[in-house]
Amino acid sequence: MALRVVTMTELRLEVLLEPERTGESVAEVCRRREISRQSYYRFKRRYEAEGAEGLEARSRRPLSSPGQIDARLEVEICRMRKDHQRWGARRIRTELRRAGHDPPAVSTVHQVLRRNHLVADQPRKRPKALKRFEREVPNDLWQIDATRTHLHDGTEAWIVDALDDHARYLLAARACEGPTEEAAWQAFCQATTRHGLPRQLISDNGLCFTGRLHGFEVAFERKVRSLGVALINSRPDHPETLGKLERFHKTLKEWLADEGPAKDLDHLQELLDRFRTHYNEDRPHQGIGDLTPAERYRPGPTSPPTSEDLEEPSIPAERSFGPYGGTEWSPTTAATSAWGSDGPASKCGSSPPESWSTSTTSKNFWSSPKRERGSVPRLAVSRRVLDLAKGASRFALT
């Protein structure tokens, strides 16, 4: 016997007429059909008022949707995604806010992208790390590393870059043929010339940065230590220690893929200079509350320094200088011993910038050529003074 297709409207009508046809009560019919009596009487009222049309399925959409986003805003979200294929829901929401809109939640933006078939469903990601570290102020810790890329003809090239741990500010990015000590030192000097010295510098265990795993000390370590900067190295096979810089490399290489590839090293350096401006000043960073690195790295306005802020630290008359002892130095010869006879230019290969002026301003700090073992620097953020408690040379940031 052939099966007959029954529509939902016909089935509901059959249930409504069944008590009259079989003589059963409504309760018995509902129990056998496994429906509620409330549903039976609701459909009966609709049938008596509208006939068979009242038994058809109706939309369950609410009469009003106050939470629905404006159609023009949805069009703008779709336009941003089409113009910038690498932007996700969080980035689009940030750009909408920076453009003066009142953006919806990130999940709502993502629903708009899915509804318009602009994103594909992604597999569930690994849980985010629960243990994180971030320095409280800029220039307290820098991260330095090298990453490999390729030029247009397939030639291998390298990029040595430095990042501020607090602000994610790209301090330097230098194109080179390989990760050598000279390339690492030039990148570090480029960063210090622009932004002064950090308190600490962290790197992996590449030979361009350290030779501690091979039983010797490389020139980069000696030079960094001679400036009074503490060099820290990550644990072997643990790239998570430099996680901020490792994640930064993904962003950098995506940008180079869109803008490149570079024809040669000079072209690569031009691209890196452009990217540095874009990354620091234009691109909001999700890890620092959707601010740009430049907005977080630059200090805000503060009150003029007090007499206590400008007080000179006590400096011993004589003191051995250098990581392994060496020449004795006095306050008048400390800077010469630390930098060389020509000042910072003899170390970094360029003349010292205006930021190394010794004039008194509201941004004074104390920079020690060598800190004694066990001494702890104290950073007073409210005064913007880096007070190295043991013998120090004074400079002022302009």
For residues 314 and 161, which has the higher predicted lDDT (pLDDT)?
A: 161
User: Residue 113: which pLDDT band, with cuts at 50, 70 and 90?
Assistant: very high
Mean pLDDT for 243-259 is 92
Q: What is the pTM (predicted TM-score) of this model?
A: 0.57
How large is the average pLDDT for residues 296-309?
50
Report the share of the chain in percent with pLDDT over 70.
73
Write out the chain in H/E/C secondary structure: CCCCCCCHHHHHHHHHHHHHHHCCCHHHHHHHHCCCHHHHHHHHHHHHHHHHHHHCCCCCCCCCCCCCCCHHHHHHHHHHHHHCCCCCHHHHHHHHHHCCCCCCCHHHHHHHHHHCCCCCCCCCCCCCCCCCCCCCCCCCEEEEEEEEEECCCCCEEEEEEEEECCCCCEEEEEEECCCCHHHHHHHHHHHHHHHCCCCEEEECCCCCCCCHHHCCCCHHHHHHHHCCCEEEECCCCCHHHHHHHHHHHHHHHHHHHHHCCCCCHHHHHHHHHHHHHHHHHHCCEHHHCCECHHHHHCCCCCCCCCCCCCCCCCCCCCEECCECECCEECCCCHHHHHHCCCCHHHHHCCCCCHHHCCCCCCCEEEECCCCCCCCCCEEECCCCEEECCCCCEEEECC
Provide mean pLDDT across the span 217-239: 93
Please choose, from the candidates 395, 199, 195, the residue with its C-alpha nearest in 3D space to the C-alpha of residue 310.
395
Which has more pLDDT, 26 or 352? 26
pLDDT at 23 over 60: yes
Confidence of residue 260 (pLDDT cuts 50, 70, 90): confident
Quickly state the pLDDT bin for 64 (edges 50, 70, 90).
confident
pLDDT score at 307:
45
DSSP-assigned beta bridge partners for residue 393: 367
Is it the case that residue 306 has pLDDT exceeding 50? no
User: pLDDT digits over 346-358, tens only?
Assistant: 444 444 444 333 3
| CATH class of the domain whose range is 141-297 | alpha beta
Instruction: Work out the percent of the chain whose per-residue pLDDT is above 90.
Output: 51
For the chain, what are the domain ranges?
8-55, 71-115, 141-297, 319-396
CA dist 388 to 69, 198, 203, 227, 265, Å?
A: 55, 12, 23, 13, 40
Q: For 365-379, how does the pLDDT look when each residue is reduced to its tens digit (9 = 90+)? A: 333 344 444 444 443
Are 170 and 161 spatial neighbours (Cβ–Cβ below 8 Å)?
A: yes
- The answer to whether residue 95 scores a pLDDT higher than 80 is yes
Mean pLDDT of 291-310: 60
Q: Assess whether pLDDT exceeds 70 at residue 342.
A: no
pLDDT at 309: 37
Is residue 177's pLDDT more than 90?
A: yes
